[in-house]
Amino acid sequence: MVRIEFLGPIQKPAIEMEAASLAEVAKTLQQDPELKPWLDNSAVAVNDTLVSGLETPLKDGDKVSLLPPVCGG
C-alpha cells in the first residue's frame, strides 16, 4: 500500500492504494476529473525525493507527493 498526498492548492485528502510503480498511480489518478488538470503540471516526489519518470518502482509504505506549481512572493 502506498500513500498519495496532494499538496498546495489541489485540496484533496490523501489516499492509499496498491501500486507497483508511478505509472500505476498516474493511471488511477487520471480517472479523477478534479486531478487530471494537475497531473501534467505537478512535480512528483517519492519519499520526499523528486523523481522524473513514471517507471519509478514503488514498494509497500512509500509516500508519493504531488507538488503543483505555485506562485510566491
pTM over 0.85: yes
- Answer with the residue of higher pLDDT: 20 or 73: 20
Q: Which residues contact 60 (CB under 8 A, 6 or more apart)?
A: 1, 2
**Structural domains in the chain?**
2-67 (3.10.20.30)
Q: Burial of 45 by CB count in 10 Å (0-12 exposed, 13-18 middle, 19+ buried)?
A: middle
Digit-coded pLDDT (tens) for 28-48 = 999 999 898 898 889 999 999
Using CA atoms of 28, 66, 42, 49 in order, give the dihedral in degrees to the nearest 10.
Answer: -120
Is pLDDT above 60 for 71?
no
